[in-house]
Structure 1
Amino acid sequence: MTAAVSPGLPAKMHALVAEFVATPGAVEAAVAEFGSPAHLVFPQVFAENLARLRGQLAARVAEFRICYAHKVNQSRAFVVAAHAAGVGIDVASRAELDSATAAGFTPDRIEVTGPKGEALLRELVGTGVTINVDNLWELERVAALAPPGRPVPVLVRVSGFAGTPVSRFGVPLHRVDAALTLLAGARERIDFRGFAFHLDSGEPAERVRAVESCLVLTERAYAAGLSPSVLNIGGGFRQVFTADATAFDAYVHALRESLLGRGEPMTWGGNTFGFQLENGAVHGTPVFHKYANTVDAERMLAELLDTGLDSHGGRALAQVASENLLQVWLEPGKALVDHAGITVARVEFVKETADGSTVVNVDLSRDTVTPADQEVMVDPILVPAAAPVAGANRGAVGVFVAGRLCLERDLITNHKVWLPRCPVPGDLIVFPNTGAYHMDLSAARASMHALPPKVAVTQRSGTFRVCRDGDYRHEVA
């Protein structure tokens, strides 16, 4: 069905990625060599993102460390790029640790986060990596396992800050005294480096409250005879998906109208995306609200570092950290791979359903391009086949994109997206900005489909080069 008005959700794209997608034959050549579907990663974009965050820190604090959160993407190219840039890495499993060491990371540049069992703790103790302990049991086990005279570097993650939703991670604030007592009694076994936190929320006020709480705990640690030197503010820095906030708002308005029966239907199967319909009105916050964000990670970090802390006479966070000789650590993942990955799939067929909807089936599953149950609210990009089918519809058309599994839920877009024409078999569909969790978090081999390969894309002297992600080698520009 062609809409009289075609609301769109244009995706923000890095200039390098946009140039690659727009280069005639570039996407098709990558798929021809490595197969469809495929995940394409851009380590040069990763490096630019990293440089921008590093610049904000360098301008404000005396000492800092960035640890790339490996869990955001399994790509080797990103890990190699992080190593080449001289930063640290945050790993959350034995396999991620192996990935980091294979790329050249030494123990002093590795931090291990997340919940850790007995077996992993036994492997970590004595290696020199920094263990970011999640709970008192982990801290007790590290103290018991650590050899005397070779203290294990440890950060203590805390949680339970005022105005912040309860978290299953971290030592609750009311249990920190027990941690300090344990740390004070285990100085020969544990090198306590400081406190850490990680918030899922991107709300600045929540992060500021967490920082102030950690500074109070740091003073308590000093009083207990400890010498913390690190304030770890975690990750969770936001991404910017949309290229046009006004267009995003217009799409959401049209979607809300459609839920009320006004205008063209825009959702599959009556999906309301978290909106609630009551008394002829639409209420609530949609599940895709993060896609409305317009504040990028660089600005978010700068504003956080410049925030005046009421508990410290209004002095900026960065100033307080420097005055107290605290290194500021952070663990960005999404922020570093933002706009550094795309996913490509080939159109297999197009069909009309019983309600008149147009469904475009691609050789990809929802779980290999969408994190968990989220709805990705930016438009895919149509890359026409080299020899388009004669008579193909050239007008903008609203479609749903469906996956290849024999499951009703395998819809890649539960919201209608408008493409410049109706796709035909052989066309390629590019899903923008899939580097952060989209590629790996929910990926499964349902129906025995192989996982899409990862392909690294770089540009040198105006020419694009592609290689298997595992074969990527950093080159000095």
Structure 2
Amino acid sequence: MNEPPLALPALRNPAVSALLDNDPALLESLVDGLGSPLHVVLPEVFEDNVTALREAFTRSGAVVDILFAKKANKADAYVRAAARLGIGVDVASTPELIGSLAGGVPGQRIGVSGPEKDDTLHALAVHHGCLVAVDSLDEARRLAATARRAGTTVRVLLRARARSQPRSRFGMAAEELRAAVGLCGELAGDITLRGFSFHLSGYSAAERAAAADEMIDHCVHARRCGSPSAEIVDIGGGLPVRYVEPSRWDEFLQRNEPGRYHANKEIKDFYPYGGQPAVEAARDIMAYPVNDRESLARRAARDGIRFIVEPGRALLDQAGFTLFRVQQVDDRSDTDGYAIVTVAGSSFSLSEQWFGSEYLPDPELLTARPAGAEVFPACVAGSTCLESDMLTWRKIAFPRPVRRGDHLVYLNTAGYQMDSNESPFHDIPLPRKVVLRTSGDGRSPSWRLDGL
């Protein structure tokens, strides 16, 4: 049995609404001129998110340095915005580090993470004075040797395995961590232990606060063992984004079933699209009681600890969207009760990093709904030869019949959905990114290609 479409409209930032409502002709001309799909990048919204998160941490009483997790989006515009605002960048590869430096972020504000980094990344990080998260004893020795050859000292964090996730593939277990602290003392001329980091999956504020509390314990112990500069706890990312209204999300979870998808596809696990906003999560982490007397923020202040946080998705909330031109409409209303809309592009350019799932918020038509129009149920497919190339398996209730030449917009795609899984399949070039900035005086937004 085919279930009727269930609406899951995406939340809209006012700046995004203004663009879609006031400048649809500009957006359509950009897609038609530069190609479909087209990713629209909004650095002003990114900057607003940084400001809001900074204020939340300041009000909590904690000292927190923000590093933008570059892996969440490849656009140069966001790195340049980070440089303008004086925040750092978290990188995990040589190209990401080079791109961050080229975007104006000094090495001292760049954190280098990732397991067992190669010698090229080590050398570049040492040369530019980056803060390097070390994942093993062997990596600590290799990094120290690199710094020794360069005639300098490198700042490091030791990545510990949190007690709540003992089987994680990241970080050092207790015995190895104790040995690493001792090794940092032995190699003090080459490496300076600045603190500890950890990796967590999921969005539990309680679990992240508890892991941060463990890292403070490690800092206190490291100071006693001769590393007086151990004062940093890197809590990673793990700040959620709210894409849809919570009530809509709850209804979707209750009514979700295969009949709502093309070919009765069964998807059971999704990103928590109706979850907590990042600012609230940040406050909850810092306010979480880690002992009988005080919050995490108070405990950190008492022990002289400063935090690093590495949001990616959270800083990109509403800071971009993706446009597709409709290439074909296969109306199967008489047989299946819905249509298949094929766009110029593929699901490689619009995908959720929550593996085995799809990006759920409803795509929208750029043009307004005509009065009295009937709902047009359809799913959205890519234009490759793969049966599985579906941008949206779920049936969407479009407000009017979709036609060839129409333009679809997927909102709030900057955080991983745009480019984390992109591929030049069929030898088709990767989509372009356009940076839009509003003038503030009622004129049309200015635009440029990202990277120029």
Kept in 1, the 8 Å contact 2:79–2:105? The answer is no
- Is 1:334 equivalent to 2:318 in the alignment? no
Give the counterpart of 1:423 among 393, 396, 402: 402
State the superposition RMSD in angstroms. Answer: 2.3
Partner of 1:237: 239
Partner of 2:323: 344
| 165 and 43 in structure 1: CA distance in 2 versus 1, 3 angstrom threshold | farther
TM-score (normalised: structure 1):
0.88
Aligned residue for 2:438, secondary structure, equals: strand
Give the counterpart of 2:414 among 435, 438, 441: 435
Kept in 2, the 8 Å contact 1:6–1:396? The answer is no
Kept in 2, the 8 Å contact 1:8–1:248? The answer is no
| 160 and 57 in structure 1: CA distance in 2 versus 1, 3 angstrom threshold | closer
Summarize deviations over 1:67-123 as a string: whole Å, max 9, x none: 111111011111111100011111111111111111111111111111311232233
Aligned residue for 1:154, secondary structure, equals: strand
1:125-140 correspondence to structure 2 within 5 Å: 125-140=126-141
Summarize deviations over 1:379-435 as a string: whole Å, max 9, x none: 0011139xx9xx999311211100011010001111111110120011000011110
1:345-360 correspondence to structure 2 within 5 Å: 345-353=324-332, 355-360=336-341
Kept in 2, the 8 Å contact 1:108–1:129? The answer is yes
* Residue ranges of structure 1 left out of the alignment (5+ in a row): 260-264, 274-285, 472-477
Kept in 2, the 8 Å contact 1:238–1:335? The answer is yes
CA apart distance, 1:378 = 0.6
1:60-459 correspondence to structure 2 within 5 Å: 60-61=60-61, 63-115=63-115, 116-147=117-148, 150-162=152-164, 164=165, 166-227=167-228, 228-242=230-244, 244-256=245-257, 259=258, 265-273=259-267, 286-293=268-275, 295-310=276-291, 313-353=292-332, 355-372=336-353, 373-384=356-367, 394-459=373-438
Aligned residue for 1:65, secondary structure, equals: strand
CA apart distance, 1:341 = 1.0
Partner of 2:12: 13
Kept in 2, the 8 Å contact 1:66–1:329? The answer is yes
Aligned residue for 1:350, secondary structure, equals: strand
Kept in 2, the 8 Å contact 1:396–1:418? The answer is yes
Aligned residues: 442
Kept in 1, the 8 Å contact 2:64–2:306? The answer is yes
CA apart distance, 1:9 = 0.2
| 173 and 395 in structure 1: CA distance in 2 versus 1, 3 angstrom threshold | farther
TM-score (normalised: structure 2):
0.92
Partner of 1:277: none
CA apart distance, 1:356 = 4.7
Partner of 1:262: none
CA apart distance, 1:26 = 3.0
CA apart distance, 1:62 = 5.7
Summarize deviations over 1:192-238 as a string: whole Å, max 9, x none: 11001232210112112211211221122122111202111111210
Cα distance in structure 2, aligned partners of 1:336 and 1:432: 15
Amino acid at match of 1:342: F
| 289 and 337 in structure 1: CA distance in 2 versus 1, 3 angstrom threshold | closer
Cα distance in structure 1, aligned partners of 2:163 and 2:377: 45
Q: Pick which of 350-359 and 403-412 moved more.
A: 350-359
Kept in 2, the 8 Å contact 1:7–1:247? The answer is no
Cα distance in structure 2, aligned partners of 1:459 and 1:2: 43
CA apart distance, 1:150 = 2.3
Cα distance in structure 2, aligned partners of 1:166 and 1:61: 33
Q: Pick which of 48-57 and 313-322 moved more.
A: 313-322
Kept in 2, the 8 Å contact 1:160–1:166? The answer is no
Cα distance in structure 1, aligned partners of 2:136 and 2:320: 34
Kept in 2, the 8 Å contact 1:157–1:196? The answer is yes
Cα distance in structure 1, aligned partners of 2:175 and 2:111: 25
Summarize deviations over 1:209-268 as a string: whole Å, max 9, x none: 2112112211221221112021111112101110x2222333333333xx4xxxxx3112
Kept in 2, the 8 Å contact 1:347–1:361? The answer is yes
Kept in 2, the 8 Å contact 1:236–1:332? The answer is yes
Aligned residue for 2:321, secondary structure, equals: strand
Cα distance in structure 2, aligned partners of 1:251 and 1:106: 45
Cα distance in structure 2, aligned partners of 1:32 and 1:193: 51
Aligned residue for 1:455, secondary structure, equals: strand
Kept in 1, the 8 Å contact 2:326–2:406? The answer is yes
Kept in 2, the 8 Å contact 1:370–1:439? The answer is yes
Kept in 2, the 8 Å contact 1:2–1:396? The answer is no
Aligned residue for 2:158, secondary structure, equals: strand
Identity %: 32
CA apart distance, 1:469 = 1.2
Cα distance in structure 2, aligned partners of 1:165 and 1:439: 32
Amino acid at match of 1:48: D
CA apart distance, 1:2 = 11
Amino acid at match of 2:174: L
